[in-house]
Amino acid sequence: MTRLFVGLSVGVAALFVLSLLVGPASIAPVDSLAGLFGGGEGPVAMVMREIRLPRAILAAMIGASLGLAGAAMQGYLRNPLAEPGLIGVSGSAALGAVLAIQTGLSAAFALALPLMALAGALGGVLLVLALAGPRGGALVLILAGIAISAMAGALTQLVLNLSQNPFAVNEIVFWMMGSLADRSMTHLWLALPFTLLGWVLLASLGRGLDALTLGEDAAQAMGIDLPRLRLVLILGTACVVGAGTAVAGAIGFVGLVVPHLLRPLVGAQPSRLLPASALGGAAMLLAADLAVRVILPERDLKLGVLTALVGAPLFLHLIYKTRKEMV
């Protein structure tokens, strides 16, 4: 168990350093690190501090968020197919961003896009809380999430449908594919407080999620306050997913595949899966963000496209394995 956590941590650290050393500006590794730590003012220091460092930190941070939220959501719903987008927050955050692009706000003011996306996420979470009620069970939450996702998706389509500005449509379509290119430290400072709050909330759920292995009735009789657990889960997921979507767009499959992959390695215990999945998510997104820079450096391959391209076959493999075990 300890070996798994050490291995994952080393992997994340290595990928993080690698992420700092790879980019369109070909800078020798030694120069990169000198630029990063050497306090100089030259172009190398600029590239390192303003472009590569925020990009690497955001990849690790958002990856960890998606892994953690995915593990928590699967633990709560006791279903390996659950993922963080299920409660509709990523969809409503995307709608906020799309409105920012369409109305031209994002062109007028750089931070309008992430701020509008955060507002969208907030709207989504308020709606899901109102719909799912304070005492409703897991099923009501899923239904509310599906309804909100569908509504946000339809409104996004409507914006694209009615848009008379081909440039905005183009930008919206590309933004929705998810990317970490050209994000600044400001994006990081905007997402960081929500993300940290969300991590604290989600990390507190381990005990309750473990008890839920025995079902809702047994967990409640063991002293777990289920309405409170659900509230913390929704708020925590909304914080991390809202912040992540606001700065990087929609990135799928990480929150679904990473907990699934790591579950057998932690003895399937939800409380242990939380930190493992956070580390695994960070590693996966750092690797994916490296890959988009290495595979097609000229073509701006989008991060969300790559995670789906890699994630879907990985998931098919998991289905194949599960099917073999069931016989």
Partner 1 sequence: MTLLSLRDLSVTLRDRPVFSGVTLDIEPGELVGLIGPNGAGKTTLMRAALGLLPHEGQSCLAELDPGARARAVAWMPQMREIAWPVTVEALVTLGRTPHRARALSQADRAAVTRALDWMDLSDMRNRTATRLSGGEQARVLIARALAQDTPLLLADEPVSGLDPAHQIATMRTFGQVARSGRAVLVSLHDLGLAARHCSRLILLGQGRVVADGPPGQVLTPELVAQVFGITAFSAATEHGHVFQPLEVLE
- What is the H or E stretch that residue 31 is in? helix 29-37
Q: Is 269 among the residues that bind partner 1 (CB under 8 A)?
A: yes
Q: Closest by alpha carbon to 63, among 314, 279, 291, 326? A: 279
**Given 6, 110, 139, 218, the residue binding partner 1 (CB under 8 A):** 218
Q: Closest by alpha carbon to 71, among 299, 273, 282? A: 273
Q: Is 182 among the residues that bind partner 1 (CB under 8 A)?
A: no
**Given 2, 161, 223, 327, the residue binding partner 1 (CB under 8 A):** 223
Assigned token pair, 86? 């299920």
**Given 14, 28, 46, 222, the residue binding partner 1 (CB under 8 A):** 222
Q: Which residues contact 164 (CB under 8 A, 6 or more apart)?
A: none
CA dihedral 300, 304, 310, 314 (to 10 degrees): 180
Alpha-carbon 211 to chain mean position: 26
Q: Is 214 among the residues that bind partner 1 (CB under 8 A)?
A: yes
Q: Which is nearer to partner 1, 75 or 244 (CB)?
A: 75
Total binding residues toward partner 1, as defined by CB under 8 A: 22
Q: Which is nearer to partner 1, 163 or 220 (CB)?
A: 220
User: What is the Cα–Cα distance from 70 to 201, expressed in whole angstroms?
Assistant: 14
Q: Is 70 among the residues that bind partner 1 (CB under 8 A)?
A: no
Contact 293, 23 (CB under 8 A): yes
Q: Is 217 among the residues that bind partner 1 (CB under 8 A)?
A: yes
**Given 17, 213, 231, 235, the residue binding partner 1 (CB under 8 A):** 213
Q: Which stretch binds partner 1 (CB under 8 A): 24-32, 161-169, 211-219, 302-310?
A: 211-219
Q: Is 319 among the residues that bind partner 1 (CB under 8 A)?
A: no
Q: Is 200 among the residues that bind partner 1 (CB under 8 A)?
A: no
Contact 89, 121 (CB under 8 A): yes
Q: Which stretch binds partner 1 (CB under 8 A): 47-55, 115-123, 223-231, 294-302?
A: 223-231
8-state DSSP, 48: I
- Footprint of partner 1 (CB under 8 A): 78, 207, 210-215, 217-218, 220-225, 263-264, 267-270
